[in-house]
Amino acid sequence: MRRLPPRTLRGQLTAGLVALLALACLAVGITTALALRGFLLGRLDEQLSASGGRFAASLEHEAKPDADNRPDTRGQAESTFGARLLNGSVTQAAVVDDATDRPLVLTPADRRALAGIPVDGDGHSVRLSALGAYRVTAVEGDDQDTLITGLPLHPVEETVHRLEAVESVLFGVALVVTGTAGALWVRFSLRPLQRVTARAAEVAGLPLASGEVAMPGPLPDTDPRTEVGQVGSALNHMLGHVEDALTRRQASEERLRHFAADASHELRTPVANIRGHAELALRHHGPVPVPGEVRHALERIGSESQRMTRLVDDLLLLARLDAGRPLEHEPVDLTLLILNATDDARAAGPDHRWLLELPEEPVTVTGDAHRLQQAIGNILANARTHTPPGTEVTISLTTEPTGAWVSVSDNGPGIPEELQPEVFGRFVRADHARSRSTGNTGLGLAIVHAVITAHGGTVTVTSSPGHTTFRFVLPH
């Protein structure tokens, strides 16, 4: 797989530092190698100019009958190359080898390369098949010929390669040392940023939606002269605003809870009085009977006051649960609660099919029996009132290491998908998907969620056309 660049800021800074140093080392290496090569080539050109073509001129004797047929190699360095050209053709060529001249066999390509050397006295590089790379210079001879003298480039190339090898080792060590030191320095320099990140992660892990939350203290890294200090200062300001907003929201929710609890408590007495007076009027047996219209009105007053009583009780219960009022903690036979709640639901909804799937042994949890009975009854009432007659409702109870699981499933029309995230909210009704019966306050499932949460459990719902399941777990 193709290696990806580092994602962390520390890795990017370290990689950037090493990359810049590597580019600098490469530039220095190339510059020094080229400079050294140019210097050595200049020295070779000076030696060639100083020789004045004497070795190449001595090759003329090989073409004269009265000569001793030996070129003059005195003062010539070993491997010095000499060649004589006449009318663009090589007539003689030799190389100094152990103070003796060694005849050469030049290929046509070598002869063309020698013939193409400019006669300007400057140094030029040429590669001969028998000798390799040479630095040569060409001058005009006394007999209308061209004299070429050359020195091997092998010492120059060897010196340059040696320099490159030494620089490679030195630069490699420098990159390793600098990369390690740079990584440590970057890590040390970014420690304030790590503290900022840790503080942000700490705040992100707080249950901000649960109400009053103790925010962590301010960061000490707030130096405005540094970028990290500016980030730390901005984070401190943001945390201050968040803490202030949470405090205001908590105070508002506390006032709302107290208002709901007080209002519910105050409403219980007048509602009970209205209901009592309505029942008393219906029992009146005076000489004049109560007219039919008045009796119907009194019956409606009693029915609505009874509905108002249930609503007030539900609101008072939710207010107490929101305020964190402690529930009872005693052993509760969950199997018995389910049996009793199913019997009540079967009596209230005889047109439904009520099925039970219970384990052979009773399941016991710790909690408030009355509130748990109310939660289970609300789920069954929800299944009864929001499904048509003939709907099959299955109540099952299982035990797992995580706790006791209770599920209520029905094959009714289901809950609309857009309503499912809000189904445990207060005053939420599925008016468009399920039938709404008289007396429904929209608080039943909200009470279920509040009671189960107060017991340390969780409740969920999954629904699709033809299948709806409410499932909650209670810890053992």
148 burial type by CB count under 10 A (0-12 exposed, 13-18 middle, 19+ buried): buried
- Distance CA(359)–CA(337), nearest Å, equals 14
Per-residue pLDDT, averaged over 70-83, amounts to 72
Round to the nearest angstrom and report the end-to-end CA distance of the chain. Answer: 49
| Identity of the residue numbered 206 | L
Beta carbons within 8 Å of 16's beta carbon, 6+ residues apart:
none
Binned at pLDDT 50, 70 and 90, residue 47 comes out as: confident
Quick check: 141 pLDDT over 80? yes
If residue 97 lies in a helix (H) or strand (E), which one and from where to where?
A: strand 89-97
* Reported confidence tier of residue 227, pLDDT bands at 50, 70, 90: confident
**Across residues 168-195, what is the average pLDDT?**
85
> Which two structure tokens, joined as six digits, stand for 3?
């290696």
Buried b / exposed e along 347-365 (16+ C-beta atoms within 10 A): eebeebebeeebeeeebeb
Q: What percent of the chain has pLDDT over 90?
A: 29
Residue-level pLDDT at 1: 46
Q: Is the pLDDT of residue 192 over 60?
A: yes
Contact 345, 377 (CB under 8 A): yes
Which residues on adjacent β-strands are paired with residue 458?
473
**Cβ neighbours around 455 below 10 Å, total:** 23
Q: Of residues 343 and 428, which shows the higher confidence score? A: 343
pLDDT confidence band for 263 (50 / 70 / 90): low
**If you ran DSSP here, which 8-state letter would residue 31 be given?**
H
Residue 335's pLDDT is 92
Top-confidence residue, 297 or 257: 297
User: Quick one: average pLDDT of 56-80?
Assistant: 62
How far, in Å, are 51, 458, 468 from residue 356 at the CA level?
116, 22, 16
pTM of the predicted model as reported, rounded to 2 decimal places:
0.49
Give pLDDT, residue 23: 93
pLDDT in tens, 288-313: 676 777 777 877 887 777 777 777 77
> Is the pLDDT score of 68 beyond 80?
no
